[in-house]
């Protein structure tokens, strides 16, 4: 990507913060919505937002993969699970367990501490580095990281077989 | 990189904290699975942000993030199968009502 200057850079930054805020709002809906279906929609917003954040970081292939795998596959699966199991809209079902306040305090401390730490650490940043081209990425996957890639395909096959075995009806 | 690295890291830390909160406090097992997906996404965002900022030339962070996405898919599939099996046997997927193994 060529060096952007002036108002374009400002607009890109503003767009980043808007997308980040939307992502976090979706994530909050995903963890806090009473209706589990709404939580799934919030998760969709969050996952889509993360895909756009990947675009800001110039990882185009990953953004597309994120949308295909997460929004396309995993989210559909989760919505199926929601539909098949729970009384999603029943307000009598409490959404949180008894340790909700402890969990909130822990998450707040963790989040604020991490944010403070990460924001103030002296990272060595190479500002002039070029984004990775897609052919290079493909070569890296299929040469240096070929073994994890193939192991992942075996893992996915195992997960597929295992999921079918676990979720099928008991042969009575 | 247009966006300063710490700003991306703060977004990712917030995403992680929200995921931890959901995973610890949700009663519904599917809600817990959703929160875990958020945590994995925040880790991926960190991979990409650091890889971009440190100028890796071979795309290794993106490969790692792709592998994490694949493992998350496998985990979600098995987790949902377990949830369905438990629901069929016990008619509930509230994580605090499933205590068969509690002594």
Q: Are residues A13 and A65 in the same domain?
A: yes
For residue A27, the model assigns a pLDDT of 94
The model's pLDDT over B72-97, given as tens digits with 9 standing for 90+, comes to 999 999 999 988 888 888 777 777 77
Does residue B99 form part of some domain?
Answer: no
Give residue B37's domain range.
5-90
For the segment A32-50, the average pLDDT, to the nearest whole number, is 91
Residues of B in Cβ contact (< 8 Å) with A125? 1, 5, 53-54
Q: Which of A95-104, A112-121, B25-34 has the weakest average pLDDT?
A: A95-104
pLDDT score, position A86: 64
Residue from the list A98, A108, A155 with its beta carbon closest to the beta carbon of B71: A155
CATH code, domain with B40: 1.10.287.3510
Q: Which residue has the higher pLDDT, A152 or A8?
A: A152
* Together in a domain, A86 and A3: yes
Residue with tokens 């099928």: A168
Identity of the residue in A4, A107, A132 whose CB atom sits nearest the CB atom of B17: A107
pLDDT score for A90: 63
Per-residue model confidence (pLDDT) at position A142: 92
The span from the CA of A7 to the CA of A16, in Å, is: 14
What distance in Å separates the CA atoms of residue A59 and residue A66, rounded to the nearest whole number?
A: 11
ipTM of the complex: 0.90
Number of structural domains (chain B) is 1
The burial class, CB within 10 Å (0-12 / 13-18 / 19+), for B43 is middle
Average pLDDT, chain B: 88
| C-alpha gyration radius of chain B | 17
Q: Is the pTM of this model over 0.90?
A: no
Any chain B CB within 8 A of the CB of A74?
A: yes
Spatial separation of the C-alpha atoms in residues A85 and A80, rounded to whole Å: 9
Q: From the CA of A53, how many Å to the nearest CA of chain B?
A: 8
Residue of chain A whose alpha carbon sits nearest to that of B60? A140
In percent, the amount of chain B with pLDDT more than 90 equals 50
Cβ within 8 Å, pair B87-A84: yes
Domain end, chosen from A65, A90, A115, is at A90
Domain that holds residue A73: 1-90
Under 8 Å between Cβ of A54 and B11? no
Write the pLDDT tens digit of every residue in A47-99. Answer: 999 999 999 988 899 999 999 999 888 999 888 888 887 665 566 667 777 78
Those residues whose C-beta lies under 8 Å from the C-beta of residue A74, and which sit 6 or more positions away, are B37, B72, B73, B76
* Assigned domain for A97 exists: no
Mean pLDDT estimate for chain A: 86
Substitution target in A49, A51, A111, A139 with the highest count of B β-carbons within 10 Å is A111
Report CB contact under 8 Å: B35, A159: no
CB pairs under 8 A between A and B: 267
Cα–Cα dist A31/A172, whole Å? 38
Q: Do A143 and A80 lie in a common domain?
A: no
| Count of the separate structural domains present in chain A | 2
Is the pLDDT at B27 greater than 90? The verdict is no
Half-sphere exposure of A115 (CA within 13 A, CB side): 17
pLDDT in tens, A127-153: 677 888 889 999 999 999 999 999 999
Residue A9 contacts B, CB cutoff 8 Å:
yes
Residues A3 and A62 in one domain: yes
Q: Are residues A1 and A69 in the same domain?
A: yes
Residues in A closer than 8 angstroms to B6, CB to CB, are: 118-121, 123
Inter-chain touch B37–A20, beta carbons under 8 Å: no
The pLDDT assigned to A172 comes to 60
Amino acid A156: pLDDT: 94
**Running DSSP on this structure, what letter comes out for residue A96?**
B
């Amino acid at each position: 990507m060529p060096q952007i200057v002036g108002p374009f850079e400002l607009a890109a930054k503003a767009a980043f913060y808007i997308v980040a805020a939307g992502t976090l709002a979706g994530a909050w809906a995903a963890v806090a919505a009473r209706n589990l279906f709404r939580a799934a929609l919030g998760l969709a917003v969050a996952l889509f937002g993360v895909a756009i954040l990947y675009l800001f970081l110039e990882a185009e292939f990953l953004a597309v993969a994120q949308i295909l795998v997460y929004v396309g596959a995993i989210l559909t699966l989760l919505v199926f699970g929601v539909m098949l199991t729970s009384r999603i809209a029943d307000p009598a079902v409490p959404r949180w367990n008894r340790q909700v306040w402890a969990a909130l305090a822990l998450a707040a401390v963790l989040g604020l501490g991490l944010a403070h730490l990460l924001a103030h650490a002296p990272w060595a940043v190479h500002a002039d580095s070029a984004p990775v081209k897609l052919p290079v990425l493909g070569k890296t996957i299929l040469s240096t990281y070929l073994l994890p890639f193939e192991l992942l395909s075996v893992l996915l096959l195992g997960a597929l077989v295992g999921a079918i075995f676990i979720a099928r009806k008991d042969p009575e | 990189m247009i966006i300063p690295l710490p700003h991306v890291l703060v977004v990712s830390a917030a995403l992680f904290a929200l995921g931890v909160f959901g995973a610890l406090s949700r009663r519904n097992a599917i809600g817990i699975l959703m929160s875990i997906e958020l945590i994995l996404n925040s880790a991926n965002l960190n991979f990409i942000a650091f890889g971009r900022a440190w100028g890796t030339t071979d795309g290794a962070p993106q490969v790692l993030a792709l592998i994490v996405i694949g493992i998350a898919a496998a985990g979600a599939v098995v987790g949902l199968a377990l949830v369905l099996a438990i629901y069929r046997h016990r008619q509930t997927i509230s994580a605090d009502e499933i205590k068969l193994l509690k002594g």
